[in-house]
């Protein structure tokens, strides 16, 4: 089909999924059936679902590892695991949860939801989106490749040198971790670029920057943060690999290198990353909680600004992970103070959620329970974080179970609880079926009580001086009973997670069919059918407020959004490009279709990293050349995307 | 052309009720800075610039902790680095001129710019190769040599990627793909090439100038 028009005034029309125009859209947007179509798809909904499912599989793997650790620690002097097995298990537990679950699951939510929230038909770069998923999957497999043969990463997820240097850890364990993290960094980076451009360029007309849902603010902030943080860790791991395999001396103190450089680079990345894995989850709560409180979020602007402020401050607090490393006291004071300042934007968000519940009319659904539980856990995790921001207290508590308790309250509390609540909330949109509410409430109470039984006593263990990362402990230290309680709590918590997964499987088959808007929610994704058609919206909506579907009930301004009538854009794969701040239409974007290029490129990039691991120069050279050729083919200008001079031939 | 577009589009008739056409026509597809790829390249440059910032942070961090002289073998000489820097800047200037050409509908000017920048870039690489082989140290000699070869190596890798882009763009321009109206790919590639030049200035300043500042 030769596309020959170079500009056009979009047709504004009223249309539904049954309109003839929607039949055209379906033809343009639906992928091919079969395995080929499955491998080639660039549909953001498909990629989002894959991200979430893959991340949940890693959550289960990481959870089983944690249970093994807890069985080992349940009593003193246990010998279930050898010290080496224990080291690999706690390292892979951390790597899995932090890198292969926590961010990818949120990327999954945002990939699925963003175009629906923004009133668009896909992400700005659909093929890059597919690449981001495939590289994530292959990097995850890569990181596990040596673990399955008993040589997994074993120096903890922050992998300090000189423990991780060749002299003290000669096996492939650390090389796999180092190269795997560089590969995973590529996935995170291209995914973040995609979110940023999607926000800047593909919102529905009228969705000015002060009308986007908070989840979008959260993921945008996380993405910008990743863009500036991920290079630090990729570089650190690459330098470590070079130190180990090429003979450089970056971290080698015998030749002028500095082990502390590792800690600086790692935490310059690590702390912004903490916010990257919680801000989008906080966004889930800020968007979904108001639905169950039957009122808009209290303090939208304050919460949006708090989100951004948290990340900005998050770049200036990395040294609070290094208080015990002998840095000058003055700098510790500065970083301690900066860490405490983060309490302010965090408290702004907490009070906004509490006020939303307080002044609303809460409906106690399973999802609501998860969100409300999250607020409580966030406060507990925040307080213990505030405590360790005080330098003297941190000197006492660092490397004890107090820090383990803190980070689990923060990461499970702020990531897992909102994510599970978010699944209850958006499951009907994704699958067209509601999840079982009764089982949902059971799963919440089991998870919530199990979580607190498992992790609250860890604070006490830390205060009693139990160090983290020890594979066993002597009896008579007074830690035995508390550890047994922690282990019991961990299994109760795992049972709660199991109930949640059982609910998913039961509801997929037997859940009550869901309408387009089963919760009577306010944002755009609920205006299209459940599950949404391949093209998302029969017409591009026009947005006039933050709560397009609640406008009839809210006397805010005169403007009314239009969700039934809008730009048709049904000539092939099209969506509207809008301006950064005001979201005024300024270009009709031609979107690329399904392609094998992302999968091929992910495979060749992975092959290049495998070749590096095996010291195969030829293998690396071939993989690099194929990657370059694939990218040239991928980027080849296409007339159908109007990238080429159109008068030509 | 326009007639065909109108007769092909059956949507006008099909989209039954409520048709309203906004007054303004919008460009379709990748046009200039409206292309998503333009914004995408900006984000790529942001993250790549950050990568170099962390590389140079590592340099200054290790330099500030060095015992004894820094650099251990004295400040690197300027005989090759200064002409190399000027060559890279010249490449950016001709590239800017070439892009100006395609904006005015002259693909020939773009091709000259691309070809000239390509030659200048290869010359820079060759000079870097000479510089590398003349160094009195090897990668594994000490931490300074590790930094030197790693950071200039990272930059050379970016030059190579940039040259690949320029070569492919030259081919595409020769195929007649670009015009005054449609040349996003060229603008995006040229922006990357400018980035490669600017980053070199930071690397050059760090390695060649700061040791001479006292």
User: In terms of CA atoms, which chain B residue is nearest residue A586?
Assistant: B26
The pLDDT value given to residue A513:
96
Interface contact A629, partner B, CB < 8 A: no
Q: What length is written for chain B?
A: 214
Q: Which strand ranges, in their side-by-side order, compose the sheet holding A12-14?
A: A12-14, A562-567, A540-542
> Which among A577, A627, A629 is the top mutation candidate for probing chain B, defined by the most B β-carbons within 10 Å of its own β-carbon?
A577
Tokens describing residue B116:
């000239």
Which residue from A9, A20, A200 is facing B25, i.e. has the nearest CB?
A9
Interface contact A232, partner B, CB < 8 A: yes
Tokens describing residue A604:
């060749």
> Does residue A142 or residue B2 have the better pLDDT?
A142
The pLDDT value given to residue A59:
98
The domain locations on chain B are 78-214
The pLDDT value given to residue A558:
57
Count Cβ neighbours within 10 Å for each residue of A21-41 and write b for 16 or more, e otherwise: bbebbeebbebeeeeeeebbb
| DSSP letters for A491-524 | HHHHHHHHHHHHHHHHHHHHPPB--S-TT---SG
> Cα–Cα distance between B155 and B205 in angstroms, integer?
13
Q: Say how many CB pairs under 8 Å bridge A and B.
A: 219
Interface contact A258, partner B, CB < 8 A: yes
Q: How far is CA A522 from CA A88, A552, B158, in A?
A: 46, 11, 47
Mean pLDDT of A556-571: 84
Q: Do A643 and B184 touch (CB under 8 A)?
A: yes
For the segment A240-288, what is each residue's pLDDT rounded down to a tens digit?
Answer: 999 999 999 999 999 999 999 999 999 999 999 999 999 999 999 999 9
pLDDT band at residue A603 under the 50/70/90 scheme: very high
Q: How many CB atoms lie within 10 A of CB A574?
A: 24
Mean pLDDT of A97-118: 97
Q: Which of A343, A340, A418 is nearest to A377 (CA)?
A: A418
The pLDDT value given to residue A638:
86
Structural element, H or E, at residue A562 = strand A562-567
pTM for the whole thing? Answer: 0.95
**Residue pair A302/A350 in contact by the 8 Å Cβ criterion:** no
Q: What letter would DSSP give residue A10?
A: P
What residue spans of A594-635 are helical by DSSP H? Answer: 597-613, 617-635
Task: Indicate the SS3 state at residue B52.
Answer: helix
Q: Which chain B residues contact residue A3 at CB under 8 A?
A: 28-29
**Residue pair A608/A592 in contact by the 8 Å Cβ criterion:** no
**Residue pair A107/A132 in contact by the 8 Å Cβ criterion:** yes
Q: Do A265 and B54 touch (CB under 8 A)?
A: yes
The pLDDT value given to residue A557:
62
> Cα–Cα distance between A408 and A63 in angstroms, integer?
12
- The CB-side HSE value for B155 (13 A sphere, CA atoms) comes to 30
Q: Which chain A residues contact residue B160 at CB under 8 A?
A: none
Q: Which chain B residues contact residue A265 at CB under 8 A?
A: 54, 57-58
For the segment A415-430, what is each residue's pLDDT rounded down to a tens digit?
Answer: 999 999 999 999 999 9
Q: What letter would DSSP give residue B211?
A: G
> Which among A3, A13, A188, A206 is the top mutation candidate for probing chain B, defined by the most B β-carbons within 10 Å of its own β-carbon?
A13
**Residue pair A521/A291 in contact by the 8 Å Cβ criterion:** yes
> Cα–Cα distance between A459 and A475 in angstroms, integer?
19
User: In terms of CA atoms, which chain A residue is nearest residue B69?
Assistant: A256
List of long-range contacts for A350-355, beta carbons under 8 Å, 24+ apart = A350/A375, A350/A378, A350/A379, A350/A382, A351/A299, A352/A286, A352/A297, A352/A298, A352/A299, A352/A302, A352/A303, A352/A306, A353/A285, A353/A286, A353/A289, A355/A298, A355/A299
For the segment A386-406, what is each residue's pLDDT rounded down to a tens digit?
Answer: 999 999 999 999 999 999 999
Q: Quote the minimal CA–CA distance from A578 to chain B in Å.
A: 9
Interface contact A128, partner B, CB < 8 A: yes
Three-state SS letters, A258-283: CHHHHHHHHHHHHHHHHHHCCHHHHH
Q: What length is written for chain A?
A: 649
Q: Do A15 and B40 touch (CB under 8 A)?
A: no
> Which among B23, B29, B166 is the top mutation candidate for probing chain A, defined by the most A β-carbons within 10 Å of its own β-carbon?
B29
Rounded to the nearest 10 degrees, the angle between the axes of helix A437-463 and helix A480-510 is 160
Q: Do A257 and B62 touch (CB under 8 A)?
A: yes
List of long-range contacts for A576-580, beta carbons under 8 Å, 24+ apart = A576/A10, A576/A120, A576/A202, A576/A204, A576/A205, A576/A540, A577/A201, A577/A202, A577/B34, A577/B36, A578/A201, A578/A202, A578/A203, A578/A204, A578/A205, A578/A207, A580/A200, A580/A201, A580/A209
Count Cβ neighbours within 10 Å for each residue of B152-186 and write b for 16 or more, e otherwise: bebbbebbebbbebbbbbbebbeeebbbebbbbbb
Q: What letter would DSSP give residue A574?
A: E
**Residue pair A15/B15 in contact by the 8 Å Cβ criterion:** yes
Residues 6-35 of A with CB under 8 A from B: 6-15, 19-21, 24
Instruction: Classify residue A507 as exposed, middle or buried by CB count within 10 Å of its CB (0-12, 13-18, 19+).
Output: buried
Q: Do A19 and B14 touch (CB under 8 A)?
A: yes
Whether complex ipTM tops 0.85: yes
The pLDDT value given to residue A644:
80
The pLDDT value given to residue A594:
95
Q: Do A645 and B62 touch (CB under 8 A)?
A: no
Q: What letter would DSSP give residue A593?
A: -
Structural domains of chain A, with CATH:
12-36+527-590 (no CATH), 37-510 (1.20.210.10), 597-641 (no CATH)
The parts of chain B modelled with pLDDT lower than 50 are: 1-21
Q: Do A7 and B65 touch (CB under 8 A)?
A: no
Q: Do B11 and A635 touch (CB under 8 A)?
A: no
User: In terms of CA atoms, which chain B residue is nearest residue A225?
Assistant: B47
User: In terms of CA atoms, which chain B residue is nearest residue A588?
Assistant: B28
> Cα–Cα distance between A383 and B42 in angstroms, integer?
39
Interface contact A64, partner B, CB < 8 A: no
> Cα–Cα distance between A392 and A413 in angstroms, integer?
26
pLDDT at A646 > cutoff 80: no
Q: Which residues is A7 bridged to in the sheet?
A: B27
Instruction: Classify residue A326 as exposed, middle or buried by CB count within 10 Å of its CB (0-12, 13-18, 19+).
Output: exposed
Interface contact A581, partner B, CB < 8 A: no
pLDDT at A3 > cutoff 80: no
Average pLDDT, chain A: 95
User: In terms of CA atoms, which chain B residue is nearest residue A636?
Assistant: B172
User: Locate tokens 């991340």: which residue?
Assistant: A55
Three-state SS letters, A308-357: HHHHHHHCCCHHHHCHHHCCCHHHHHHHHHHHHHCHHHHHHHHHHHHHHH
Q: Do B43 and A201 touch (CB under 8 A)?
A: no
For the segment A507-534, what is each residue's pLDDT rounded down to a tens digit?
Answer: 999 999 999 999 999 999 999 999 999 9
Classify A554 in phi/psi space as left (phi over 0), alpha (psi -120 to 50) or beta.
Answer: beta
For the segment B149-164, what is each residue's pLDDT rounded down to a tens digit?
Answer: 999 999 999 999 999 9
> Cα–Cα distance between A611 and A622 in angstroms, integer?
10
Quickly name the fold that domain B78-214 has. 1.20.120
């Amino acid at each position: 089909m030769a596309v020959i028009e170079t500009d056009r005034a979009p047709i504004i029309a009223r249309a539904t999924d049954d309109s003839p125009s929607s039949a055209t859209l379906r033809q343009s947007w639906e992928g091919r059936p079969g395995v080929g179509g499955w491998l080639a798809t660039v549909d953001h909904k498909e990629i989002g679902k894959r991200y979430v499912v893959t991340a949940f599989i890693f959550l289960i793997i990481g959870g089983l590892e944690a249970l093994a650790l807890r069985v080992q620690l349940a009593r003193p002097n246990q010998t279930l695991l050898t010290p080496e097995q224990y080291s690999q298990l706690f390292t892979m537990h951390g790597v899995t949860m932090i890198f292969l679950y926590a961010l990818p699951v949120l990327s999954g939510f945002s990939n699925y939801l963003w175009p629906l929230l923004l009133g668009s038909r896909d992400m700005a770069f659909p093929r890059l989106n597919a690449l981001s998923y495939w590289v994530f999957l292959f990097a995850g497999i890569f990181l596990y490749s040596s673990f399955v043969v008993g040589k997994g990463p074993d120096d903890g997820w922050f992998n300090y040198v000189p423990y991780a240097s060749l002299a003290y850890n000669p096996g492939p364990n650390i090389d796999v971790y180092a190269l795997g993290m560089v590969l995973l960094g590529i996935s995170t980076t291209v995914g973040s670029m995609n979110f940023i451009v999607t926000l800047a360029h593909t919102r529905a007309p009228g969705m000015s920057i002060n009308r986007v849902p908070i989840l979008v603010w959260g993921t945008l902030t996380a993405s910008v943060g990743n863009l500036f943080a991920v290079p630090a860790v990729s570089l650190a791991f690459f330098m470590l690999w070079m130190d180990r395999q090429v003979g450089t001396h970056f971290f080698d103190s015998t030749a002028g290198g500095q082990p502390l450089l590792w800690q600086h680079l790692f935490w310059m990345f690590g702390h912004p990353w903490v916010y990257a894995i919680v801000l989008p989850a906080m966004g889930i709560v800020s968007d979904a909680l108001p639905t169950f409180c039957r009122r808009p979020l209290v303090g939208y602007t304050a919460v949006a600004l708090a989100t951004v402020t948290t990340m900005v401050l998050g770049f200036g607090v990395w040294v609070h992970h290094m208080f015990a490393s002998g840095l000058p006291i003055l700098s510790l004071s500065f970083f301690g103070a900066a860490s405490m300042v983060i309490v302010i934007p965090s408290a702004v968000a907490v009070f906004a959620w509490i006020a939303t519940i307080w002044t609303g009319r809460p409906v106690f659904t399973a999802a609501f329970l998860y969100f409300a539980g999250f607020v409580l856990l966030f406060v507990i995790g925040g307080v213990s974080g505030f405590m360790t921001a005080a330098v003297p207290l941190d000197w006492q508590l660092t490397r004890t179970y107090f820090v383990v308790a803190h980070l689990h309250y923060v990461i499970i509390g702020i990531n897992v609880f909102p994510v599970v609540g978010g699944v209850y909330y958006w499951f009907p949109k994704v699958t067209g079926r509601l999840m079982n509410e009764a089982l949902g409430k059971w799963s919440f109470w089991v998870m919530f009580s199990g979580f607190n039984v498992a992790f609250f006593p860890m604070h006490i263990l830390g205060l009693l001086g139990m160090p983290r990362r020890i594979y066993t402990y002597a009896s008579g230290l007074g830690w035995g009973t508390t550890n047994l309680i922690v282990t019991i709590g961990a299994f109760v918590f795992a049972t709660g997670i199991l109930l949640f997964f059982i609910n998913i499987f039961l509801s997929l088959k037997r859940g009550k069919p869901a309408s387009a808007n089963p919760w009577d929610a306010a944002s755009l994704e609920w205006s299209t059918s459940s599950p949404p058609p391949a093209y998302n919206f029969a017409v591009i909506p026009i947005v006039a407020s933050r709560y397009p579907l609640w406008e009839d009930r809210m006397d805010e301004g005169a403007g009314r959004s239009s969700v039934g009538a809008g730009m048709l854009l049904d000539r092939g794969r099209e969506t509207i490009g809008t301006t950064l701040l005001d979201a005024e239409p300024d270009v009709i974007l031609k979107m690329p279709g399904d392609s094998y290029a992302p999968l091929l490129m992910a495979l060749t990039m992975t092959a290049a990293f495998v070749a590096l691991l095996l010291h195969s120069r030829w293998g690396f050279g071939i993989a690099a050349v194929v990657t370059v050729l694939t990218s040239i083919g991928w980027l080849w200008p296409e007339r159908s995307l109007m990238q080429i001079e159109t008068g030509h031939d | 052309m326009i007639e065909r577009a109108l007769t092909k589009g059956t949507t006008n008739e099909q989209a039954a009720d409520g048709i309203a056409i906004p007054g303004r026509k919008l460009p379709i597809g990748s046009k200039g800075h409206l292309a998503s790829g333009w914004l995408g390249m900006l984000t790529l440059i942001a993250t790549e610039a950050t990568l170099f910032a962390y590389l140079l942070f590592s340099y200054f961090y290790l330099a500030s902790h060095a015992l004894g002289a820094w650099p251990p073998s004295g400040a690197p000489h300027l005989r090759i680095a200064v002409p190399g820097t000027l060559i890279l800047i010249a490449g950016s200037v001709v590239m800017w001129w070439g892009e100006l050409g395609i904006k005015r509908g002259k693909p020939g000017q773009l091709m000259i710019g691309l070809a000239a920048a390509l030659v200048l870039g290869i010359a820079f690489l060759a000079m870097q190769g000479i510089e590398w082989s003349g160094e009195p140290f090897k990668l594994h000699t000490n931490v300074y040599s590790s930094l030197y070869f790693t950071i200039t190596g990272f930059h050379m890798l970016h030059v190579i990627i940039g040259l690949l882009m320029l070569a492919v763009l030259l081919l595409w321009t020769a195929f007649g793909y670009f015009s005054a109206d449609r040349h996003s790919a060229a603008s995006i590639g040229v922006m990357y090439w400018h980035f490669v030049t600017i980053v070199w200035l930071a690397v050059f300043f760090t390695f060649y100038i700061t040791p001479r500042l006292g």
